[in-house]
Structure 1
């Protein structure tokens, strides 16, 4: 099961898991985007549009997957969003939006999927976090707080499940060449008057490799988490060397 599977990293992960031989349940808010992802997959798919922050949404999604197939063996919690504002200009609504989508939704997903994985004696959970899970940057306090929180969730869950055959890891990308980063570029343009090219160059310059990370590079890290049963509780940086930990 892959959340946020309509585009960007989620779509790339879904397609890669399909190539690995998995039947893949796809969810995001846009049916059209999910259908496009499903068309690029090599094997069986379920298209399940949903808002992960909705009341009971996670339970409903898992019930649909279990009725159609079985409890998921691999769960990739990718759905997420960002917001930019200084601390004093961050509204309660923005703060809550970041916590609901980036932290509470993954928590509910783990809580719902862990019992079946424990019974099976095998499972792989991967949360797409961010380098913001480890580092504070200006103007993204709500986003950073939610990502710090979700990395803590991953580490605690991994410690609990270490002897069960279930692994829990996070992948922590830097700036990735995705629609979410394009929205960041547009935000910089709107607030600073820079050109899109200048704004994009500023993001590229934050990473030692001086370019954006590709979706494929993030997908490879996710696949490593799926394949390697000896790796759990990790926050794997895919950021061009910006955080050396």
Structure 2
């Protein structure tokens, strides 16, 4: 479970990013977070993966008090949080298999376990036949699937997808959403997807949290894209 309670975030330059934010996300949920640039979406992500600390309030992920983690413990916490970005961030000189394995090698996992898990996640993202390919030999949609496979390789508590379809055409975008849905169900992974894609939010309706100027202005279980101007 993810719980943010009375969270404020003010950056050293004086920017107020979040104001009294309250949000609860249950284990296994799939939610969208939407809002215009500057609404607080990026700050929310940074709080959830311990890149930033709240100025005040509580941020908890699976009963871990993220805001009060000591610096030396942050890398261990991040093993349980998968993050996918719109620009993939793949290692260009490593194969698909090696890109996914790299995330597990950093954990000193036994080689046979790494190989087994990499094969599992590549099958899940439908890229088993691309295991020996390099990123520049893949389409944008395939590269994003590799990034997703890498993010879930260590079975994270939560998967944060930050504009994962931002660089993809509509058909490939649908494929990525359907893949995230499959991961959500197959691995019981909590998925938080930040997006501007109105079409996808309306087509694949899920709980939708709307941020505006650092505030949660709507939290709708019925889903559907909502413009901040409506509030």
Same fold per TM (> 0.5)? Answer: no
- Identify the structure with the greater helix proportion: 1
- Higher share in strand: 2
Say which structure, 1 or 2, has more relative contact order (CA 8 Å, 6+ apart).
2
